[in-house]
Amino acid sequence: MPELDIQIGGRSFQVACQEGEELFLRTAAGLLDAEATPLMAQAGRMPEARMLLMSGLMLADRLAGVEEQLRIAETRLREIEARPRPAPERVEVRVEVPVERVVEVPVEIAVLPPGLADRLARMAAEAEALADALDAQTAGAV
């Protein structure tokens, strides 16, 4: 079982982890250190347990905010998916083939309302970004 030296709030800790989880531990320690370092700069010297508690609470607050954003995005996506879709426009096209006879082939083309494809792409990108942020937060909590 590997043991790593990590730095949090200017203090060194030795932590054991499962084989292959070293990167996750270092990432989690980096997230905790990013909260602890400014806290230590503002408050000065404080007991180790209090520093870790305050840093953990600040991380939990950020995670709760990301989870709320994800919940809102998922709700918006469900609302959009539940909206009735307009029937696709029918467009008839006459195709002339240079042979002895003319063949008419009816063709249906689905037409999206203007701007819908862009809105869906933006929402998908926003959902991806929120999912990535949540993954980063949960990976850091390991």
C-alpha distance from residue 117 to each of 12, 33, 126 (Å): 51, 41, 14
Specify the amino acid at residue 58.
M
Alpha-carbon Rg of the chain, whole angstroms?
27
Residues 72 and 82: their CA atoms lie apart, in Å, by 15
Residues 17 and 137: their CA atoms lie apart, in Å, by 18
- For the CA atoms of 27, 30, 31, 32, the dihedral, rounded to the nearest 10 degrees, stands at 120
The answer on pLDDT for 25 being more than 60 is yes
Number of domains into which the chain is organized: 1
C-alpha distance from residue 4 to each of 21, 30, 47, 60 (Å): 11, 13, 22, 23
DSSP string of 113-141?
PTTHHHHHHHHHHHHHHHHHHHHHHHHHT
Domain range for 14 is 3-140
How confident is the model at residue 40, as a pLDDT? 87
How confident is the model at residue 61, as a pLDDT? 93
Read off the pLDDT band of 20 (50, 70, 90): very high
pLDDT digits (tens, 9 = 90+) for 29-54: 999 999 999 988 888 788 989 989 99
Note the residue count of the chain: 142
pTM: 0.52
pLDDT digits (tens, 9 = 90+) for 51-79: 899 999 999 999 999 999 999 999 999 99
pLDDT digits (tens, 9 = 90+) for 84-138: 888 888 888 887 767 666 567 776 666 667 777 778 788 888 888 888 888 888 7
